[in-house]
Amino acid sequence: MADIRSVLTKFQTKKKKDGHEVQKSFVGPFKEPSSSEIPDVFFDIVIQKYRLNRLDIAVLMFLYRQIWCRPNLYKSHGIGPLNSYVEVSALLGVTHEELGQHIRALENFGLIETVRAGQYFVRKYFTAELDTEFGQNYDDFF
């Protein structure tokens, strides 16, 4: 029988050659620098019209990037993957209760919609009016 070590050495590890681990999920920040395309209407219209605070913006950008800027099966529907509130609150540096407050605030503004707990619909151009103006439509998912 072959020696276990010789068999295991034939398999590739999940580490890059420079010693950094491969990004395991698309929830948290990437180890390598990257960029995300955010439509200018966010800066020109949405922030001014809705007067979002810093944490509202952080939660909205987290969800937007997760849906529109990273690999996502439901991108054509504008729906993100299922999130753990514990993980998201830890990544954003807020408590579980604060995260819930900011999500409710974004829902009240109409910038996101809850599909189910931890899963959200975020429009490509943030509002129904801007989606219509820029010709964005979504596949019927609901």
**DSSP secondary structure string for all residues of 22-87:** PP--SSS--SS-------HHIIIIIHHHHT--HHHHHHHHHHHIIIIIS--TTGGGTBPPP--HHH
**Residue 45 falls inside a structural domain:** yes
**Residue 33 falls inside a structural domain:** no
pLDDT digit string, tens, across residues 68-126: 998 888 888 999 999 999 999 999 999 999 999 999 999 999 999 999 989 999 999 99
pLDDT of residue 122: 94
| Cα gap 59→79, rounded to integer Å | 15
**Residue 122 falls inside a structural domain:** yes
**Residue 8 falls inside a structural domain:** no
**Residue 112 falls inside a structural domain:** yes
**Residue 63 falls inside a structural domain:** yes
Q: What is the pTM of this model?
A: 0.75
CATH at residue 104: 1.10.10.10
**Residue 13 falls inside a structural domain:** no
Number of structural domains the chain divides into: 1
Q: State yes or no: pLDDT of 21 exceeds 60.
A: no
Domain that holds residue 56: 40-133
